[in-house]
Amino acid sequence: MTTPEPADRVLARASLAEGNPTGWFDQLYTAAARGEAEVPWTRGKPGVDLTAWAAEHPGEGRRALVVGSALGDDPELLAAHGWAVTGFDVAPTAVAAARDRFPESTVDYVVADLLNPPPAWHHAFDLVVEIMNIQAMPRDFRPAALKSLASFLAPGGTAIVCEVAEENMDMATWQSPPWPFSRAEVESVAQDGVRLVSLDTVRDGARYWATFTR
């Protein structure tokens, strides 16, 4: 007997075949809300790497933007550390679920697309957090996504970029999504006045963790 393919793979394949890089995310969150699928990246708590970073970097009221805010765990973590947080996701169902989970939240949850972001976000954030989202879109969309990401960062601010590291993957057997990053691709966030501060690996070399400033 074969194991049924997970819903995220089935939905992603159909969405990508139609040339839609992001449509499957909302379909997956909607199916999960009905109890018909699992969202593989939801943990019910913030990521451990961001948790460690936030403990050392209080926001003191500065503005943070969380890309791919999902069910709200990472935005809420930063809000608890004093950041004035905007979290956005292309999936309206995820944004609604985050608002429902945290009704008292100070986070501004917004439906928006990294590939076509609000112009008001240009150079507007002291902290920009991109964890495992751009890698979830096919590579053709990567240059536009990275350009948007760089554009959000205010002078003197910090951008965090964390993606699966291609150099440590067995790409012969790898199934996308996600599409892992090379070191050079992570470094390419340094554009339009943004510069690389650090580039390390975390999770035993499985992910890059890079910081940038402007």
Q: Which residues bind ligand SAM (CB under 6 A)?
A: 22, 25, 41, 47, 68, 70, 88-91, 94, 113-115, 131-133, 136-137
Name the minimum Å distance from CB 94 to ligand SAM. 5
Name the minimum Å distance from CB 204 to ligand SAM. 18
Beta bridge partners, 88, equal 67, 110
List all residues 6 or more positions away from 164 whose beta carbon is below 8 Å from its beta carbon: 132, 135, 178, 180, 181, 206, 207, 208
From CA 148, how far away is CA 3, in angstroms rounded?
39
Name the minimum Å distance from CB 65 to ligand SAM. 11
By beta-carbon proximity to ligand SAM, the closer residue of 82 and 178 is 178
From CA 107, how far away is CA 52, in angstroms rounded?
20
Please name the residue ranges forming H helices in the chain: 7-17, 23-33, 48-56, 73-80, 92-101, 142-152, 183-187
Name the minimum Å distance from CB 67 to ligand SAM. 6
Cβ-proximal residue to ligand SAM, closest one: 68
Beta bridge partners, 86, equal 65, 108
By beta-carbon proximity to ligand SAM, the closer residue of 109 and 212 is 109
By beta-carbon proximity to ligand SAM, the closer residue of 47 and 157 is 47
* Cα dihedral 95→87→206→192 (10° resolution): 130
By beta-carbon proximity to ligand SAM, the closer residue of 141 and 213 is 141
By beta-carbon proximity to ligand SAM, the closer residue of 59 and 75 is 75
Name the minimum Å distance from CB 1 to ligand SAM. 29
Nearest alpha carbon to residue 132 among 201, 71, 208: 208
163 in helix, strand or coil?
strand
By beta-carbon proximity to ligand SAM, the closer residue of 89 and 185 is 89
Name the minimum Å distance from CB 90 to ligand SAM. 4
List all residues 6 or more positions away from 76 whose beta carbon is below 8 Å from its beta carbon: 46, 85, 102, 105, 107
